[in-house]
Structures are given as structure tokens and as C-alpha cells.
């Protein structure tokens, strides 16, 4: 990951030309760095575990059928450049994420900040680490807990109701539009809680393992444990069980409202 960051990603930061940025639909963009980084990461991962298939974000954008059976067997999930909109605009944060998933359960995860070099890692049952030093989710210790809500794909009425309810209990901070950074913030004390509606697997598998191995809590909106390929909607995330329960009790009735269209759960 560090080699790909140094050779492919950071040289393109703030140097992209117009023709190196494209619209891939659904309000998302992609850059040449996304494609080149995914190809390089795939090349590096392929020899490591011959029984695992490799599923990358950009490959799935071209062929959505690659997500079929994503919750079965050994899978490398690759997000070659998370926070592409930030990257293309010449701003931070952005990151790179890899997860090894077995039958839908994250077994190992890596989250790299290419600019600072910060590497967050986790292995199931062995803890969470930042640059090789074990960490525990510590919370913000703010007067009121701080939450970030990924609700931009919700119908406006429901989004407004959720933000209003959350604001009774939390101070709200905008999401960084980079899941790699969101999970680091939950463990390292900037945020106490977060939620996301859209749960594309490469955006969350590595981060959820990092959070839970650090002592945090992650579930789907219906309270079921997170699993790649699960039909359950969304994710609720918190640095502690107490904060997770506070958010879940307040927001679950609104999150599970039938205003949430099923096609937006994983779109």
C-alpha cells in the first residue's frame, strides 16, 4: 500500500488534469489515480493468497456482477482511493483501504493515509494498531458526544428528522466524505459516533474491524452484527457500547422508517 501510495496516488495529488477526472454516475467521480492504484494493489495482492478473489471498487463499477456472492469465501476488498472527490478537488482527507473478508466477516484490515503515512491496521482477535502501536477507542471527552451522520442519500424529510433527533443528544460534525478518515476519527477521539446509509463493502469492512478491535461497536441499523453482503441496512458506529446504545435508541425508529428505499441501502 505504501509503495502504491508513493508511486501512484500522491504524485497525482493536486496535479490532475481535466481529462484525468471522469463522471462514473450516481454523483460520483473517478480519476486515473483510482484506476492505476487499484491495478497496482491487485497485482501486489494476487500472489499473497491464491484462494482469495480480489474485488475492487473500480472493477465493480465496470462490472457490478463482481459483488455477487460477496459474503461467501475469502475475498480481498480494495478501495484504491477513498474520498476521491476530496482528492480530485485537491483537498484532504483521502485514503486507501484493504480488507480480507472470510464468509462476510472481516478478518484483517489496513487503512492508509497517503499524505501523513498513518497506517491503521487490525487483525481479528489481535487488536487495532496505528503505525504499529496498539490503540483503544477513547472517545472525544467533549461535554456532549460528537457524531457524524452519513445521510446524504436519504429523502430530505427523513434526513431532517434524523438530524434534528440526533442534535438533541449529540453535537454534529459533518462527515469528512472519506470513510477511511471517519473510522480513524472514531478510534482516535475526534468523533464518538457515526452512521452511514450507504454500505459498499470496500468502504466499511476494514474500518469496522479497526473500530471493533479497538473496543468500539458496529452494527447494522437493525442491531444485527455487521457482515459483508448482509441484507440488513446501514451501519451504526460508536467508540463505546454506551454511546452506541444512546444513538441506536434515539435513531433506530427513524432509520428503519419505510421512507428508506431499499435500492439506496447499498447503492
Cβ-proximal residues to 245 (8 Å cutoff; 6+ apart), any chain: none
Residue 254 three-state SS? helix
d(C-alpha 267, C-alpha 265), whole Å: 6
Q: Where are the beta strands (DSSP E) in the chain?
A: 21-25, 28-31, 53-56, 74-82, 95-102, 105-112, 119-123, 127-130, 133-135, 146-150, 171-172, 193-196, 217-219, 235-238
Q: Where are the domains of the chain?
A: 2-135, 146-264
Q: Give the pairing of strands 74-82 and 53-56.
A: parallel
pLDDT for res 258 = 53
C-alpha cell at 166: 440526533
Domain boundaries 2-135, CATH class: alpha beta
Integer-rounded Cα Rg, in Å, for the chain is 18
Prediction pTM value: 0.94
pLDDT for res 168 = 97
- Encode pLDDT of 153-190 as tens digits: 888 999 999 999 999 999 999 999 999 999 999 999 99
pLDDT for res 265 = 40
- Block mean pLDDT (10 aa), the chain, length 267: 98 96 87 98 95 96 94 97 97 98 98 98 98 97 97 91 97 97 98 96 98 98 96 96 97 76 39
The residue among 189, 175, 192 whose CA lies nearest residue 244 is: 192
CATH 3.40.190.80 fits 146-264, yes or no: yes
Cα 163 versus chain centre, distance: 20
φ and ψ at residue 30, rounded to 5 degrees: -140, 150
Amino acid at each position: 500500500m505504501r509503495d502504491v501510495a508513493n508511486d501512484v496516488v500522491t504524485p497525482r495529488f493536486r496535479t490532475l488534469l481535466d481529462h484525468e477526472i471522469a463522471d462514473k454516475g450516481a454523483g460520483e467521480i473517478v480519476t486515473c489515480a483510482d484506476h492505476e492504484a487499484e491495478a497496482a494493489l491487485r497485482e501486489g495482492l494476487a500472489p499473497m493468497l491464491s484462494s482469495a478473489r480480489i474485488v475492487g471498487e473500480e472493477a465493480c463499477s465496470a462490472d457490478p456482477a463482481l459483488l455477487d456472492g460477496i459474503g461467501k469465501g475469502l475475498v480481498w476488498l480494495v478501495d484504491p482511493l477513498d474520498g476521491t472527490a476530496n482528492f480530485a478537488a485537491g483537498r484532504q482527507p483521502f485514503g486507501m483501504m484493504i480488507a480480507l473478508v472470510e464468509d462476510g466477516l472481516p478478518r484483517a484490515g489496513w487503512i492508509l493515509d497517503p499524505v501523513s503515512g498513518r497506517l491503521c491496521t487490525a487483525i481479528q482477535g489481535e487488536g487495532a494498531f496505528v503505525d504499529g502501536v496498539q490503540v483503544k477507542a477513547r472517545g472525544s471527552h467533549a461535554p456532549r458526544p460528537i457524531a457524524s451522520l452519513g445521510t446524504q442519500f436519504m429523502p430530505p424529510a427523513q434526513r431532517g428528522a434524523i438530524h434534528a433527533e440526533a442534535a438533541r443528544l449529540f453535537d454534529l460534525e459533518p462527515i469528512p466524505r472519506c470513510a477511511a478518515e471517519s473510522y480513524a476519527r472514531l478510534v482516535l477521539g475526534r468523533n464518538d459516533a457515526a452512521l452511514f446509509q450507504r454500505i459498499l463493502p470496500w468502504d466499511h469492512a476494514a474500518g469496522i474491524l479497526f473500530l471493533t478491535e479497538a473496543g468500539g461497536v458496529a452494527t447494522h441499523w437493525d442491531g444485527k452484527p455487521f457482515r459483508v453482503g448482509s441484507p440488513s441496512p446501514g451501519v451504526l458506529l460508536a467508540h463505546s457500547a454506551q454511546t452506541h446504545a444512546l444513538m441506536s435508541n434515539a435513531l433506530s425508529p427513524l432509520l428503519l422508517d419505510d421512507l428508506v428505499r431499499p435500492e439506496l441501502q447499498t447503492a
